[in-house]
Structure 1
Amino acid sequence: MEDVHLAVIGAGQAGLATAWAANRRGVRPLVLEAADRPGGSWPHYYDSLALFSPARFSSLPGHAMPGDPERYPGRDEVVDYLRDYAARLDADLRCGKRVVRVDRDGDVFVLATADGSRVRAAAVVAATGGFARPHRPALPGLEGFTGTVLHAAEYRSPEPFAGQRVVVVGGGNSGVQIAAELARVARVSLATRAPVAWANQRPLGRDVHWWLVRSGLDAAPVRRVWERGPVLVNDDGRYRGAFASGNPDRRELFTRLEGGKAVWDDGTVEEVDTVLLATGYRPALDYLSPTGALDSHGRPPHRGGISAAVPGLGYVGLEFQRSFSSATLRGVGRDARHVVRRLLAGARR
């Protein structure tokens, strides 16, 4: 069985930032990626996805995203950037290696992959994000809905929904973006529990991320503030304009689904073809269960990305791991440096 100092699970933005942080400390990590190429979940997002942060604030450490720093890169640009970034790293990057189980063997970890290979590691960073575990809330009648139900993780483009009645559930950036795109070919409602909270994308001529970084809020440990407040949707006017047209419209979340119909809070009942859930993701970490790292809900108790349950185990890319931007391209590098420094210090004791 092969022995390594640091194993990183996942070669998306979080895993690649972790490998860079390890390089900075003189360690060449082993990076195990389930897909046949690096890039994490980015190649699987919907075709028209565009970042809500400009390229200037959407780069991993050590290599800026090329091109106009004020533009908002699309999905394929991000994929190309991540693959170029991976090629620049001093890492043993192995694709097609899905980690299916991690065990403890004394003071080390044993990682098993789907193809039967096994590796021992003194320290492990789980950087697999949540795309493989889309959150499907328990909405009234959803299980018995006779139309189509899909998650945003399964959405690619609007053409298959032409002429349909579609309800998008979830008022974050992705839900708004998908609803506006679908409205070009379908009759669409965005169903949310609270009104959409619009945020000016460029206040006083500067992108909102410029203000977040300059003010320090981008890196501040303000989880409770952000969680208690409304979900903000960054907009330069396009999406508000789309909703002002009446298609898409925004409605209170339906009371229930009955067969192929939605029952709205005003008592209106109408046929619906598709319910699309833009309801986020949960950490995809089932492979860590044998270590005892997860609680009864499958969540990883941690302090700033360092496991609170298992020594030598860390995380990068969790939402609100250390700050508002922890799960973003601009935030994972900061968290990766912190986690790698702590883990490597512990592994040398």
Structure 2
Amino acid sequence: MTRAPRPVDVLVIGGGQAGLAAGYYLRRAQADFVILDAYGAPGGAWQHAWPSLRLFSPAQYSSLPGRMMPTPPGGGYPGAADTVAYLADYEQRYQLPIVRPVTVHAVRRGGEHLLVDTHAGTWQARQVISATGTWSRPYVPYYPGIADFRGQQMHTGGYRGPEPFHGRRVVVVGGANSGAQILADVSTVADTTWVTLRPPRLLPDEVDGRALFTLATRRTRGADGVGSLGDIVAVPPVRQARDRGVLKAQPMFDRITSTGITWPDGTGLDCDAIIWCTGFRPALGHLAPLRLRGPDGLIPVEGTRAAGEPRLHLLGYGDWTGPASATLIGASRTARDTVAEIMAATSTSNQPP
């Protein structure tokens, strides 16, 4: 750690896309703030994504505030490496005060401050923005026999490319974008079976993440959007898989055996590996001492502000913390409103009685 803990007005936990977007607006507001990042290098969770991963929107619609993401060589949709390079450049361009690697263990109340306990000391902050994302909490649903499978099981968070599956029989579980993209990737080297809880829906080629952001915004207003068109963005690798006839999903199995999977009608399939593309859960363990979670495991919010602790904001975890806030463009928009609210609160609290 290069800087001793000290009291700050605003402390941001997480140096990924949501944390950087908050940092941009905090810097512009001339706030006293620090960003703590658990990773040892820039790029947030993107630095751990598989090489063929593609964003859902072109670069100009996948940018943080103040700086456009460069169009990747050859055009098209930016990949994981493009995004990491962009985020690294972004934090340098705006000289954001990021301290890394710092692991945050707990956030707790301490009089007029929130206390943020880390492996390198305790910080004090008048306001805290939690922007820890979801990557560190992969979700794998339970199915009978899951512990008996003798083959390889892997989650999206551990997938790094198709080569380890060359010539093998692989079941890909999950009908969202990660499932479709990993299926497209693995199917180039392996015999794949796609299994989904409900029939996957593919967006038309001309519709991408821009429409999904509009849809998420409309849903929060109670209006209909383009949801009937589908949920999976047809980025180039997915289109190629479709053209190869790979995007044919089977219904969800109900049991796992030592050698594969079985469906309710007794039909079975032997396989060498199962890749669980079943999503992530918000990484909120560090907020447990505040005792804010509701029955659904989430923290009730008003906008991004925790309903039970007005000094805490949650940024970038998904639609419950702002429309499409887990995306680059969505995080940017919610960060702007969050920082405006924080600066108003900080200004009020700093006024003399």
Normalising by structure 1, report the TM-score: 0.90
Partners of 1:239 and 1:66 lie apart in 2 by: 23
Corresponding residue of 2:313: 314
The code of the aligned residue for 2:18 comes to: A
Which deviates further from its counterpart, 309-318 or 225-234? 225-234
Identity of aligned residues (%): 36
Deviations 1:106-155 (A, max 9, x none): 121111112x3111000000001000001111223223322221110000
**Count of aligned pairs:** 342
* Uncovered stretches (5+) of structure 2, i.e. residues with no partner: 349-353
Mapped pair 1:139 → 2:137? no
Corresponding residue of 1:220: 218
Deviations 1:194-247 (A, max 9, x none): 211010131xxxx5345567xx54643538768997861111675355246454
Matches within 5 A, 1:142-221: 142-202=146-206, 207-210=207-210, 217=215, 219-221=217-219
**2:114–2:125: 8 Å Cα contact kept in structure 1?**
yes
Corresponding residue of 1:25: 29
Identify if the C-alpha distance between structure 1 residues 285 and 323 changes in structure 2 by more than 3 Å, giving closer, same or farther. closer
**1:29–1:91: 8 Å Cα contact kept in structure 2?**
no
Identify if the C-alpha distance between structure 1 residues 76 and 244 changes in structure 2 by more than 3 Å, giving closer, same or farther. closer
Matches within 5 A, 1:1-349: 2-67=6-71, 71-114=76-119, 116-202=120-206, 207-210=207-210, 217=215, 219-222=217-220, 232-235=231-234, 239=238, 242-243=241-242, 245-247=244-246, 249-295=248-294, 298-321=297-320, 323-349=322-348
Partners of 1:274 and 1:238 lie apart in 2 by: 21
Identify if the C-alpha distance between structure 1 residues 260 and 229 changes in structure 2 by more than 3 Å, giving closer, same or farther. farther
Task: Tell me the SS of whatever aligns to 2:70.
Answer: coil
Partners of 1:302 and 1:97 lie apart in 2 by: 26
Deviations 1:76-114 (A, max 9, x none): 110000011011224321011111111110121111112
Partners of 1:127 and 1:227 lie apart in 2 by: 28
Task: Tell me the SS of whatever aligns to 1:180.
Answer: helix
**1:126–1:316: 8 Å Cα contact kept in structure 2?**
yes
Partners of 2:347 and 2:56 lie apart in 1 by: 40
Identify if the C-alpha distance between structure 1 residues 229 and 315 changes in structure 2 by more than 3 Å, giving closer, same or farther. farther
Identify if the C-alpha distance between structure 1 residues 82 and 22 changes in structure 2 by more than 3 Å, giving closer, same or farther. same
Partners of 2:15 and 2:330 lie apart in 1 by: 16
* Uncovered stretches (5+) of structure 1, i.e. residues with no partner: none
**2:144–2:254: 8 Å Cα contact kept in structure 1?**
yes
Task: Tell me the SS of whatever aligns to 2:249.
Answer: strand
Corresponding residue of 2:351: none
**2:60–2:68: 8 Å Cα contact kept in structure 1?**
yes
Partners of 1:208 and 1:246 lie apart in 2 by: 21
Partners of 1:19 and 1:236 lie apart in 2 by: 30
Identify if the C-alpha distance between structure 1 residues 52 and 228 changes in structure 2 by more than 3 Å, giving closer, same or farther. closer
Identify if the C-alpha distance between structure 1 residues 228 and 63 changes in structure 2 by more than 3 Å, giving closer, same or farther. closer
The code of the aligned residue for 2:231 comes to: L
Task: Tell me the SS of whatever aligns to 1:41.
Answer: helix
Partners of 1:105 and 1:229 lie apart in 2 by: 48
Shift of 1:24: 2.2
Calculate the aligned-residue CA RMSD, in Å.
Answer: 2.5
